[in-house]
């Protein structure tokens, strides 16, 4: 692990990170009406500027705070922490990149080109994470954005001849800035068995390979790796990349003269054979001869592999779609139960809802339990505190193995155990916006693996998101 004695880390430990002039110009109209500006509007602009995003998160996480204060993972949360007007006062002053590099137009062009590449890589990582139904897309996008700041910092530091040589890895630099572990972990090179990290790094490697031309051999290798992680066909993985490339060709890259849209066109290198000249048509022919078709190389589109459909992926996709369509709550809960039962083979699944007075949890729905099973009549008092009342404090999930031990065992009083039993189980709080709705409980006789536990978390997170979307925004009628 790097320390502050490392020259590159020490160099950037106290220096402010400059923003783009274009960022300042986009923020200017919002600065004129801070009382009518939302943190989300500001975050959307800041996230287009990697160094400004890094500066905001660095300041937010280096603040003096109590032991109970949470890490600030998203830019929107950071703006809410500072306040809109104080945010503008703190982060919208000082020289911009354009002013610092005004005397070096070649360096400024290189900086702008690098910004576009970083944005593209972050978008690609987020798009693939969304296909995996990652519930924390902000972490994925910001981690990818920050992982790309090393060449940007090198270009800025190059204005000072006395700067040390850049570090090859950005993980240690972010750690020295006390950024959240959730972000730092996603910038590591690899992780055995960590599908989320492996997908992130494969997406970033794919983005880097695409900068050199989509026909590069590494493109095919990374597509193969991503397809295996997503359990999808390589053709579908390629479609995600090409959709983003076309979007960038017509939008982001259209702004930069150094990045013509034609760089993304599927052109194969080497000489192309000329089509044969059309035969001379007889004088009486009225229909012109059809031109010979251009040759198409099979390398133009990666070959698709036959992959058996994963029932869990299908159930998660259905939950995600239900949220987008604002499906009724009973339909969303039915999809969640099917995901746990059919996708993960959980034995008993119970939805326990808060009573209107907020003093108890009562079973509202139960699957997999016999008529005489006490869990069908699950009724939990929230005073004194139990494991389930602790879960309702915020959106969170827990896995409890059998036999129950330690602090968890102390939070499972005998009357609660008589209702739920002694088997391994997962329980997660379900929220609608910031209001607790209840607990989703699922157990099985066998051990619950780390992978299954992460899938349970994903089901519950998507369920909360879908229910919140179905309910509309807070205060919406």
Burial class (CB in 10 A: 0-12, 13-18, 19+), 139: buried
Provide the pLDDT for residue 295: 44
pTM of the model: 0.59
What digits encode the pLDDT tens for the residues 201-237?
Answer: 999 999 999 888 777 889 999 999 999 999 889 888 9
Band of the pLDDT at 293, cuts 50, 70, 90? very low
Provide the pLDDT for residue 275: 54
Q: What does the alpha-carbon distance between residue 253 and residue 112 come to, in Å, rounded to a whole number?
A: 10
CATH superfamily of 311-471: GAF domain (3.30.450.40)
Provide the pLDDT for residue 254: 52
Higher local confidence (pLDDT), 280 or 105: 105
Band of the pLDDT at 288, cuts 50, 70, 90? very low
* CATH 3.40.50.1970, domain 1-63+71-266, yes or no: no
Provide the pLDDT for residue 273: 52
What digits encode the pLDDT tens for the residues 294-316?
Answer: 444 444 444 444 445 566 777 88
Band of the pLDDT at 476, cuts 50, 70, 90? low
The edge-to-edge listing of strands for the beta sheet with 424-432 is: 379-381, 360-367, 348-354, 435-444, 424-432, 397-400
Question: What is the chain's mean pLDDT, rounded?
Answer: 82
Q: What does the alpha-carbon distance between residue 224 and residue 303 come to, in Å, rounded to a whole number?
A: 10
Provide the pLDDT for residue 296: 43
Residue 341 has pLDDT above 70, yes or no: yes
Nearest to 139 by CA among 78, 198, 81, 184: 184
Residue 449 has pLDDT above 80, yes or no: yes
- The region of weakest confidence among 278-292, 413-427, 438-452 is 278-292
Residue 359 has pLDDT above 80, yes or no: yes
What digits encode the pLDDT tens for the residues 128-139?
Answer: 999 888 888 889
Provide the pLDDT for residue 263: 57
Provide the pLDDT for residue 26: 92
Domain boundaries, the chain: 1-63+71-266, 311-471
Greatest pairwise CA separation for the chain in angstroms: 99
Mean pLDDT of 142-170: 85
Residue 259 has pLDDT above 60, yes or no: no
Residue 121 has pLDDT above 90, yes or no: yes
Residue 194 has pLDDT above 80, yes or no: yes
Higher local confidence (pLDDT), 168 or 349: 349
Provide the pLDDT for residue 477: 45
Band of the pLDDT at 335, cuts 50, 70, 90? confident
Q: What does the alpha-carbon distance between residue 307 and residue 294 come to, in Å, rounded to a whole number?
A: 32
Provide the pLDDT for residue 305: 46
End-to-end Cα, the chain, rounded Å: 52
Provide the pLDDT for residue 407: 77
């Amino acid at each position: 692990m790097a320390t502050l004695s490392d020259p590159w880390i020490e160099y950037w430990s106290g220096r402010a990170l400059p923003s783009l002039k274009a960022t300042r110009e986009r923020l200017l109209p919002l600065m004129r009406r801070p009382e009518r500006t939302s943190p989300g509007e500001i975050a959307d602009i800041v996230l287009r500027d990697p160094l400004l995003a890094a500066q905001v998160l660095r300041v937010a996480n280096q603040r003096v705070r109590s032991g109970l204060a949470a890490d600030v993972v998203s830019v929107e949360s950071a703006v809410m922490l500072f306040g809109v007007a104080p945010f503008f006062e703190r982060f919208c002053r000082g020289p911009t990149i354009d002013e610092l590099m005004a005397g070096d137009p070649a360096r400024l062009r290189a900086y702008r080109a690098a910004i576009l590449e970083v944005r593209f890589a972050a978008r690609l990582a987020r798009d693939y994470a969304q296909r995996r139904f990652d519930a924390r897309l902000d972490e994925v996008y910001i981690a990818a954005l920050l992982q790309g700041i090393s060449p940007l910092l090198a270009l800025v530091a190059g204005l000072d001849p006395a700067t040390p040589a850049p570090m090859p890895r950005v993980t240690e630099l972010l750690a020295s800035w006390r950024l959240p572990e959730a972000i730092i972990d996603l910038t590591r090179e690899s992780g055995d068995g960590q599908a989320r990290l492996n997908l992130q790094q494969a997406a970033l490697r794919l983005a880097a390979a695409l900068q050199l031309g989509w026909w590069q051999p590494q493109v095919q290798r990374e597509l193969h790796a991503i397809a295996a992680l997503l359990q999808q066909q390589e053709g579908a993985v390629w479609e995600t990349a090409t959709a983003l490339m076309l979007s960038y060709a017509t939008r982001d890259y259209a702004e930069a003269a150094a990045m013509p849209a034609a760089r993304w066109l599927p052109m194969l290198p080497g000489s192309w054979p000329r089509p044969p000249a059309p035969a001379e048509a007889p004088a009486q022919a009225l229909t012109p001869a059809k031109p010979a078709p251009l040759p198409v190389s099979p390398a133009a589109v990666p070959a698709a592999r036959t992959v058996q459909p994963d029932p869990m992926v299908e159930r998660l996709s259905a939950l995600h779609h239900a949220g987008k369509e604002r499906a009724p709550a009973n339909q969303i809960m039915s999809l969640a139960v099917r995901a746990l039962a059919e996708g993960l083979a959980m034995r008993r699944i119970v939805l326990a809802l808060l009573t209107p007075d907020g003093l108890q949890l009562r079973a509202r729905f139960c699957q997999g339990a016999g008529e005489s099973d006490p869990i069908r009549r699950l009724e939990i008092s929230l005073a004194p505190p139990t494991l389930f009342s602790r879960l309702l404090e915020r959106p969170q999930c827990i896995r409890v193995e059998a036999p129950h031990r330690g602090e968890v065992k102390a939070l499972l009083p005998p009357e609660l155990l008589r209702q739920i039993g002694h088997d391994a189980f997962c329980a997660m709080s379900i929220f609608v916006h910031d209001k607790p709705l209840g607990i989703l409980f699922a157990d099985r006789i066998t051990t619950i693996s780390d992978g299954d536990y992460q899938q349970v978390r994903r089901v519950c997170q998507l369920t909360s998101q879908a229910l919140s979307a179905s309910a509309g925004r807070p205060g919406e009628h």
